Amino acid sequence: MNTSAPLDAKNSPLGKQVAVQQSYAPALLYAIARNRSELGISNDALPFVGEDVWNAYELSWLNLHGKPVVALARFRVPASSANLIESKSLKLYLNSFNQERMPSTEVVRRTIAADLSTAAGETVAVDILPLSRRPERCFAQPEGFCLDDLEIDISTYRPSPELLCVKDERVTETLYSHLLKSNCPVTGQPDWGMLAVRYTGPAIDRAGLLRYIVSFRQHSGFHEQCVERIFCDILNRCGPASLAVWARYTRRGGLDINPYRATPDGAISADALGSEIRQ
C-alpha cells in the first residue's frame, strides 16, 4: 500500500456513506426475481424443496418509553418463493427500526413477517428473541467427511460441473468443505461459506467434488443461486437417489444466509443445518 500521500476520501474506492433512515421504511426492501433459466428449471416445477435461513444479529427498536430493545432474529424464506431479498436492502430495512417506537416484540415480529412475505411473494416465517432471553447461535458441524485436507492440485476457479464424477460403489454419506467462496454480484465483495452435501447413490469422487466447490471462487452469484446451481449440477452429473445441499455463509453486515435445497426424500432437520438460534 502506498502511504506517501494522504487518503483522498472523495475519490477513494472505499464504501460511501449511506443516509441513516430515522423511521420504519418497508420500501427499502429490494426483491430480486429468482431467475432459474440458466439452470434449465422452471419455478413451477422445481426439482428441490428448501428454504433460505437468514440470521440477523443487529436488530433493535425502542419500546413505548423510548428504551432500546436489542434482539436476534431468524427469517425462513421458502425456496418456492418468487423472489429472493437483496441482503443490503434487508440490512437497511432492519436499521429503519432503530428509532421506531414499537409496543411489543410480537408487533415487531408480525411487521417484519408481513413485509418480508410481501417482498418474497410467499409467507416468510420470522422468529425474534430479545437478548434479555439469552438466545444462543448454534454452529453445528455436519456429521460426515471433511474434504479440505485432500492433497490435490486445483486450477479451475469458475463453476465447472464436468469436475464431478462418480464411482461404481453405492453409498449414503455426508461430505463437506469450508472452502466455498463466491462473489456478491452487487458489490463484488467475497462471500465465504461452508458447503455440505448429503446423498444416497453412486459414490461421488471426493477430489472432484472438492475441485468443483473451489471452482466457484471467482464466480459472481447470490448465495441462493450458488446453492441451487450446485444442487442441480450434482443431481444431473452424479444421479443420486436422494440429495441435500446446504451452505452456511459467514456473517456479513450483521446477517448470514444459509440456503438449503433437497430432493423431497432427502430433506433433513434444521438442527443438522447448524442454522438455529435457540434460547
pLDDT, tens digit (0-9, with 9 covering 90-100), for 61-108: 999 999 999 999 999 999 999 999 999 999 999 999 999 999 999 999
- The kind and range of the H/E element at 164 are none
Q: Of 127, 146, 165, 184, which residue is the catalytic one? A: 184
Please indicate whether residue 104 or residue 269 has the higher confidence score (pLDDT): 104
Any catalytic annotation for residue 184?
Answer: yes
**Torsion angle in degrees (nearest 10) through CA of 56, 222, 125, 266:** -120
pLDDT band at 144 (very low <50, low <70, confident <90, very high): very high
pLDDT, tens digit (0-9, with 9 covering 90-100), for 213-235: 999 999 999 999 999 999 999 99
Q: Which segment of 5-9, 88-92, 179-183, 236-240 scores lowest on mean pLDDT?
A: 5-9
Q: Of 191, 226, 232, 233, which residue is the catalytic one? A: 191
Q: Please list, in sequence order, all residues whose beta carbon lies within 8 angstroms of the beta carbon of residue 267, skipping any fewer than 6 positions away.
A: 49, 244
Provide the 8-state DSSP code for 141. Answer: P
Any catalytic annotation for residue 138?
Answer: no
pLDDT band at 7 (very low <50, low <70, confident <90, very high): very low
Please indicate whether residue 153 or residue 268 has the higher confidence score (pLDDT): 153
**Minimal CA–CA distance to 103: which of 141, 67, 49?**
67
- Distance, CA of 119 to chain centre: 17
Q: In the predicted model, is pLDDT for residue 275 greater than 80?
A: no
Q: In the predicted model, is pLDDT for residue 12 greater than 70?
A: no
Q: How many of the other CB atoms lie within 10 Å of CB of 187?
A: 13
- pLDDT at residue 2, as a whole number: 37
Q: How many of the other CB atoms lie within 10 Å of CB of 7?
A: 9
pTM score of the predicted model: 0.88
Q: In the predicted model, is pLDDT for residue 16 greater than 70?
A: no
Q: Residue 120 to residues 32, 95, 222, 249: CA-CA distances in angstroms? A: 8, 19, 15, 20
Q: Both ends of the chain: CA-CA distance in Å? A: 45
- pLDDT at residue 271, as a whole number: 52
- pLDDT at residue 134, as a whole number: 73
- Across 15-32, average pLDDT: 82
Identify the structural domains of the chain with CATH numbers, from first to last.
22-137 (3.30.1130.10), 145-278 (3.30.1130.10)
